[in-house]
A and B are shown apart, each in its own frame.
Chain A
Amino acid sequence: MPCLCLAQKKNKADTVKVVRDYHPTEIRIGTDVLAIGKSFAQDDFKSWELNGDIDLDRYFAALDIGSSSRDILSTKGHYTNSGTYFRLGGELNFLKKNDPKKNPGGNALFIGARYARGIFSETLQVSGSDPVWGNYENGWSNTNASSRWFELVGGLKIRMWKMLWLGYTARYKFGLHTSQSEQMLPHDVPGYGGTEKKSVWGFNYQIFVTIPVKKKK
């Protein structure tokens, strides 16, 4: 007699297909707190930056725009610099999105890349003395010089409370290329930093707010 011994059968593993949902759920907009802090702390430096990203499942499309200016006056001379820049790129979140157990807030531990462009102007007025060539006064400028560089980024974005986020981003900047005048080499590129080295590191400390785009399932 056939036995319908359902109670004695072992539970077998079941395979569930994960369906990726690339529809954005929220837009995150923030600013670099460090830049604002340095602008208040230093008389010769002003800077601001806006950071934005939009989620596409585990990925983020990111856009940053910013501006900085310097005005350094010393006994050696007077240097000014001002410009704007933007960065465009993407990020990959290593944390499972909206995992109710491991990542209920949807935090992000990410790496990514950026392509950056900028435009800036700088001037240099000097008054000096050389033991061979004597005393001199001179001035140079780079007007509407363009800049381009690449970045590898990584960082953390943590949901502190509802729409409020805090995060930091470490940036490895490289591949700088600038246009320049025949008489002056750039000293500082807004968004990139000093031009002395072929690559530089940067840090941003950001505060974000998120704007829901779609109700999460």
Chain B
Amino acid sequence: MKRNKTNCLKDLNAALHSVFEDNDNVILIGEDLFDPYGGAFKVTAGLSTKFPDRVHSSPISEAAITGIGIGSAMRGQKVIVEIMFGDFITLAFDQIVNHAAKFPYIYGKYLNIPIVIRTPMGGYRGYGPTHSQSLEKHLLGIPGITVVAINHFFSPGQLLLNAIDANKPVIFVENKTLYPMKVGMNNDKLNIKTTDDYFPCTILCNNNEIEKTDVSIISYGGVSKIIELLMVKMANEEIWIDCIFVTEISNIELTCDLIENLKSENLLFIEEGTEKFNWSSGIIAELAKKNDNKEYQYFSISAMDYIIPASLDAELEVLPSLENIKNQIMEIL
């Protein structure tokens, strides 16, 4: 895929156009998809004009459209379902857990179910408690369900194409604040590497000369912008940080393997979802179970275990911020 100076939204849109052009069995189901509106966040803009037979704009029926998507995928279509706001994915939970996750296995022979359920998650925009959440943590740990989250370091469009080609149920989380962000790093001060995993991870470091860093960050999703800014800032203060940015957040083994190569024993997990029983806690538990005498110190920054207030100022206090991450790092040192 061509990596123009494009933003995450345009990158995703281009990927959708290309997959529709290349495969005539791809269909899209979601709400308010038709042009000229083209979807609530415009990720699907232009598709209904170019491919009118294959874009289904539905009534407000998240459970049904997810189920319909699954059924279509079982009969040979490559399906993309859009849930308008990730907060509404709760309505599709039965279809995800008891149908999509099960059908590949319950019939004794593996069934390919090519369905990607894409949904925007996240806050920082003053949308209030039911339109700002990061609920992907509740979709982790479901056998048969893969959860992938975009970041701005790696082409979201390519990630989406990989998800579609995986031929299995994937929940594809698009953090809203990433949409207008340019794809790729915004500075040249950080060292960046991309793994060659199917859903690639990004490894960052603000000083490649040293063997040990002060803090190692493990993160995913929309906080990628904050982390990039933070690492550059910290470099100026000679605080050395390396970081792994995961996309396939449901792949706990991969994450743990990457953690082995980090350069600090101070592990700082950062995510936008709420704190208790979240993504970080799953990984920390997995690391602890290894019982391999590694002297890790575990820290985490997440949203407070509280609602996300509608007032933007209050919201910024509840969600992870550059400030509170910086303060946590200072505390660690």
Q: Do A and B bind each other?
A: no
The interface of chain B, by Cβ under 8 A from chain A, is none
